Amino acid sequence: MNKLKVSISNPGLGSHVRQTVRAYDEASLLDNFYTTFLLNNTALHTKLSNRYKGLKSKQFNEISSKQIKKLMLPELLRLMSSKLLSADTTDKIWEWSELYFDHWVANQLNSDIDIFHGYEHASLFSLKKCKKEKIFSVYEQPSVHHSYFNEKVASLLLNKEQYFQDNFQSIYDSDLSRKRNARRDEELKIANLILCNSTYVKSSLLNAGVDEKKILVHPLGFPEVKSITIKEKTNLAFMMSGNISYLKGSHHVLRVWKNNPELFNSHQLVCIGNDTLSPNEWEGLPNNVKKLNRLSSDDYLHEVEKADVYILNTYSDGFGMVMSEAMAKGLAVIGTTNSAAPDIIQDSINGKIIPIANEESLLAAMKWMIDNPSELVSMRIAAMDYAKNHSWLYYREQLPKLIQERYNSTKANG
């Protein structure tokens, strides 16, 4: 029996995309990877990435350049617009680039391919082509379904946080957002298989009426774990990073810290990333709150290694890779039910799971970390052990098997 051929399409090059491409390649299934801006392992590209550190994230040397098909113009325009033009114009260029990219990929797909793996919002034309050519289509859904998000997440913030309503309501209530959501709904209907990174995303799809038989949950992997010695500490460093925003629940962390000065007096809170909170949220905070702008990958990981507890108090994250990164570094994680926390955290064993928008539960979890130093050490070790057993290698080994099982089952049942 001939090996299956898989084509993957994604305009971006996030770490989870790289790992998926590598998974198919290592299983000898990868035919082509369609993307936009990417640097190969050539002398010129290496020189560019060494000179411009921001380009390192665009390097991908793990697969043969012969398997990579690039459409660079749309991404270059988007990157330039983000530096030179308004946010609204950049958003329109992003929209155009995604659709143009999808058209380009669709035009190259043919019946020689057995499986197509595309991603949310950037796959509609390609999925239609797959249906026409009888290609089995996998649609990766990294974010929660828009209907659940609007009804259960955005509405909660819009009703409770005036600053969020004044500054961000238009993002979730516009003709463009409705148009994008309609496109996503059509993609979900056409795809043969919908791949989710968490049971949270799956539940949002079920809530929207998506057939459970079409859904496969496969959580993302963990970075490499380097063994470290974890000792009891009386002065803890708590951390949150990424976007310091209302959507990430960062305001609740700051409010809890501000309202309990005696509890947190001898501890530290480190906040790293783009800040979109109201300036009022930062007023009255003690000096043991450290605020940093977004850092390079190396500098960020250095800060993570100095911390003890990671907080992702998010209202909604399809997975939350900051949690897996932190666990791999030996941090205990406090995560919410609206993320992959229930998939990767055993509550009170290798971390804490709390409900969203609940400052009492957040405070209790943080207080437990402070009051139980020896148990916290055990929790951090358990977090590292879980990361070791659910590495990116494990993810790459399992993904092609799961996809092939669904492919074979679908073919067998017609």
| Of 58 and 393, the one with more pLDDT | 393
Give tens-digit pLDDT for 138-179.
Answer: 999 999 999 999 999 999 999 999 999 999 888 777 888 899
| Of 50 and 139, the one with more pLDDT | 139
Kindly calculate the radius of gyration of the chain based on its CA atoms and give it in whole angstroms: 22
Count of other CB atoms within 10 angstroms of residue 310: 25
Within-domain flag for 104? yes
Q: Which residues of 205-226 are buried (b: 16+ CB within 10 A; e: fewer)?
A: beeeebeeebbbbbbbbbbebe
Within-domain flag for 227? no
- Least confident interval from 71-80, 138-147, 161-170, 267-276: 71-80
Q: Residue 83 carries which DSSP code? A: H
Split at pLDDT 50, 70, 90, the class of 1 is very low
Tokens for 292, please give them.
Answer: 């940093």
Q: How many helices (H) and strands (E) does the chain have?
A: 18, 13
Q: What is the pLDDT of residue 229?
A: 93
Q: Does residue 402 share a domain with residue 311? A: no
Amino acid 114 reads D
The model carries a pTM of: 0.93
Q: Does residue 187 share a domain with residue 111? A: yes
- Alpha helix positions (H), 85-228: 87-108, 124-133, 146-148, 155-160, 162-172, 175-190, 199-207
Q: Is 314 exposed, middle or buried (0-12, 13-18, 19+ CB in 10 A)?
A: buried
pLDDT above 70 as % of the chain: 94
Q: Which residues of 387-398 are buried (b: 16+ CB within 10 A; e: fewer)?
A: beebbbeebbee
Split at pLDDT 50, 70, 90, the class of 91 is confident
Tokens for 355, please give them.
Answer: 């409900």
Instruction: Look at the chain and report how many structural domains it folds into.
Output: 2
Kindly give, in sequence order, each residue whose CB lies less than 8 Å from that of residue 334, ignoring residues fewer than 6 positions away.
309, 310, 311, 312, 313, 351, 352, 354, 362, 365, 366, 369
- Tell me the C-alpha distance between 82 and 94, whole Å: 10
Question: Coil, helix or strand for 259?
Answer: helix
Q: Does residue 347 share a domain with residue 247? A: yes
| Of 411 and 267, the one with more pLDDT | 267
Within-domain flag for 198? yes
Q: What is the pLDDT of residue 55?
A: 54
Range of the domain at 336: 237-389
Residue 275 has pLDDT above 90, yes or no: yes
Kindly give, in sequence order, each residue whose CB lies less than 8 Å from that of residue 104, ignoring residues fewer than 6 positions away.
34, 71
Q: Could you tell me if 279 and 299 are in contact, meaning their C-beta atoms sit under 8 angstroms apart?
A: no
Q: Does residue 352 share a domain with residue 408? A: no
| Of 28 and 76, the one with more pLDDT | 28
Q: Does residue 106 share a domain with residue 37? A: yes
| Of 97 and 336, the one with more pLDDT | 336
Within-domain flag for 228? no
Q: What is the pLDDT of residue 190?
A: 97
Q: What is the pLDDT of residue 88?
A: 77
- The Cα diameter of the chain in Å comes to 68
Dihedral sign of CA atoms 379, 380, 383, 384 in order: negative
Amino acid 63 reads I
Q: What is the pLDDT of residue 104?
A: 96
Residue 304 has pLDDT above 70, yes or no: yes
Average pLDDT value for residue range 228-245: 96
Within-domain flag for 205? yes
Query: Residue holding tokens 């000179």?
Result: 51
Q: What is the pLDDT of residue 414?
A: 63
Give tens-digit pLDDT for 323-377.
Answer: 999 999 999 999 999 999 999 999 999 999 999 999 999 999 999 999 999 999 9
Q: Does residue 382 share a domain with residue 259? A: yes
Within-domain flag for 376? yes
- Tell me the C-alpha distance between 253 and 166, whole Å: 21
Q: Does residue 41 share a domain with residue 146? A: yes
- Tell me the C-alpha distance between 260 and 262, whole Å: 6
Cα of first residue to Cα of last residue in the chain, in angstroms, is: 19
- Tell me the C-alpha distance between 280 and 347, whole Å: 33
Query: Residue holding tokens 């949950």?
Result: 217
Within-domain flag for 229? no
Q: Does residue 267 share a domain with residue 173? A: no
Q: Does residue 213 share a domain with residue 98? A: yes
Give all strands (DSSP E) within 276-331, no chain letters: 289-292, 309-312
Q: Could you tell me if 329 and 305 are in contact, meaning their C-beta atoms sit under 8 angstroms apart?
A: yes
- Tell me the C-alpha distance between 365 and 348, whole Å: 9
Q: What is the pLDDT of residue 60?
A: 82
Q: What is the pLDDT of residue 30?
A: 97
Within-domain flag for 314? yes
Q: Does residue 89 share a domain with residue 173? A: yes
Tokens for 394, please give them.
Answer: 């494990």
CATH number at residue 99: 3.40.50.2000
Residue 404 has pLDDT above 70, yes or no: yes
Q: Does residue 134 share a domain with residue 14? A: yes
Q: Does residue 396 share a domain with residue 385? A: no
Average pLDDT value for residue range 265-289: 97
